[in-house]
């Protein structure tokens, strides 16, 4: 069988990197790693991506006896958010000269492998960085990250997931917010645990509570300083993913060096049960068809992904602001 040409070899290499690339995206981002642990790395299809959820109890429920008439009134307690597909692409480009110079079998394998590794790292870093931003970058083409889902306001008014937040009619879609200066003063090592104790209580409903805290380095340092040496216990799962993690009430506390969108005063309190990383079935880190440059002696293979971060329970997400 003939040895594959450069273009076919690039496509095969990208295909072989698919699982590794997905792992790199999740393992090198605290948010993605937590969603993966929750089983929320999901394949989807179509645009927009829909997330259905309930926002109230069914008012018809209740006790009855014997021949009591049972209520059958309609109960409008379901709603849904929708998120546009975000598309990402990283070109893997080879000039005709490079193909000629690396004509030997091992040389061409090494060339393709090194170019695909760079493309893989670029894709992973893009998604990691953008996961903490608000999706408005590149004229709104980026993924919708935490900065859109969790805003610095007790009464948000932004539109998220196609739903306009409102303090009255859409209060169920508002994230929780804790401003330290409005709740006893800016947190120090002596007071940060008191702040966080109260905030976790505010964010707890039944068994639902935060399962991940992603803090800016400055806030993380304050929390770390608040712990006695015996309390400096690392969360094993998060540590194994490469993050330095402490625990607060059993919740992993991490800082993410890729989280460039987090303000120096912020810490996100997240329940990743309600967050998903949704990938389109036809753009799951694949190689697009070969494109031959029309005015250059070059071949382009493109690594492509499409999807978004979605949410089905914004009320279970919170922002601590140490300002």
- The domain that holds 32 is classified in CATH as 3.90.1690
Please give the average per-residue pLDDT across 129-144, as a whole number: 94
pLDDT in tens, 19-66: 666 677 777 788 888 888 888 988 888 888 988 766 555 666 677 788
Selection from 7, 1, 8 nearest residue 98 by Cα: 7
HEC readout, 231-242: HCCCCHHHHHCC
How would you classify the pairing of strands 291-292 and 78-83? unpaired
Number of folded domains in the chain?
A: 1
Determine, yes or no, domain membership for 1: no
Planar angle of CA 206, 208, 213, nearest 5 degrees: 140
On whether the pTM is more than 0.85, the answer is: no
Determine, yes or no, domain membership for 71: no
Please give the average per-residue pLDDT across 204-221, as a whole number: 93
Determine, yes or no, domain membership for 244: yes
Distance, in Å, from the CA atom of 165 to the CA atom of 160, rounded to the nearest integer, reads: 7
Say whether 321 sits in a helix, a strand or coil. strand
Please give the average per-residue pLDDT across 2-17, as a whole number: 57
Q: How confident is the model at residue 2 (pLDDT cuts 50, 70, 90)?
A: very low
Q: How confident is the model at residue 214 (pLDDT cuts 50, 70, 90)?
A: very high
Determine, yes or no, domain membership for 223: yes
pLDDT in tens, 255-283: 876 666 688 999 999 999 999 999 999 99
On whether the CB atoms of residues 149 and 317 are closer than 8 A, the answer is: yes
Q: Which pLDDT value is given to residue 1?
A: 39
Determine, yes or no, domain membership for 48: yes
Query: What range does the domain containing 287 cover?
Result: 6-55+81-321
Neighbours of 280 (CB within 10 A): 21
On whether the CB atoms of residues 101 and 130 are closer than 8 A, the answer is: no
Please give the average per-residue pLDDT across 223-246, as a whole number: 67
Determine, yes or no, domain membership for 69: no
Distance, in Å, from the CA atom of 140 to the CA atom of 269, rounded to the nearest integer, reads: 25
Determine, yes or no, domain membership for 65: no
Determine, yes or no, domain membership for 193: yes
The answer to which of 11-15, 113-117, 120-124 has the lowest mean pLDDT is 11-15
pLDDT in tens, 177-190: 999 999 999 999 99
Q: What is the mean pLDDT of the chain?
A: 82
More confident residue, 108 or 274: 274
Q: Which pLDDT value is given to residue 318?
A: 97
């Amino acid at each position: 069988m003939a040895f594959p040409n450069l273009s076919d070899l690039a496509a095969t290499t990208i295909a072989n990197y698919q699982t590794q690339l997905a792992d790199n995206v999740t393992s090198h981002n605290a948010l993605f790693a937590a969603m993966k642990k929750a089983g929320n790395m999901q394949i989807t299809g179509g645009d927009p991506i829909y997330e259905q959820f309930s926002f109230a109890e069914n008012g018809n429920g209740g006790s009855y006896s014997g021949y009591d008439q049972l209520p059958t009134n309609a109960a409008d307690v379901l709603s849904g958010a929708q998120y546009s597909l975000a598309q990402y692409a990283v070109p893997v480009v080879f000039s005709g000269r490079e193909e000629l110079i690396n004509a030997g079998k091992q040389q061409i394998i090494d060339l393709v492998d090194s170019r695909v590794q760079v493309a893989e790292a670029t894709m992973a870093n893009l998604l990691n960085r953008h996961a903490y931003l608000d999706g408005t970058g590149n004229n709104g083409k980026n993924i919708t990250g935490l900065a859109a889902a969790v805003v610095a306001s007790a009464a948000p008014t932004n539109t998220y997931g196609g739903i306009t937040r409102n303090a009255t009619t859409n209060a169920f879609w508002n994230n929780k917010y804790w401003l330290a200066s409005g709740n006893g003063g800016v947190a120090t090592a002596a007071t940060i645990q008191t702040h966080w104790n109260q905030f976790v209580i505010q964010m707890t409903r039944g068994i639902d509570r935060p399962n991940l805290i992603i803090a800016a380095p400055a806030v993380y340092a304050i929390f770390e300083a608040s712990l006695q040496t015996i309390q400096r216990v690392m969360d094993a799962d998060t540590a194994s993913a490469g993050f330095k993690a402490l625990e607060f009430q059993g919740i992993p506390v991490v800082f993410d060096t890729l989280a460039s969108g987090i303000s120096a005063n912020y810490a996100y309190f997240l329940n990743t049960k309600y967050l998903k990383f949704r990938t389109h079935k036809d753009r799951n880190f694949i190689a697009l068809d070969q494109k031959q440059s029309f005015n250059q002696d070059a071949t382009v293979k493109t690594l492509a992904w499409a999807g978004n971060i979605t949410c089905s329970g914004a009320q279970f997400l919170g922002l601590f602001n140490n300002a």
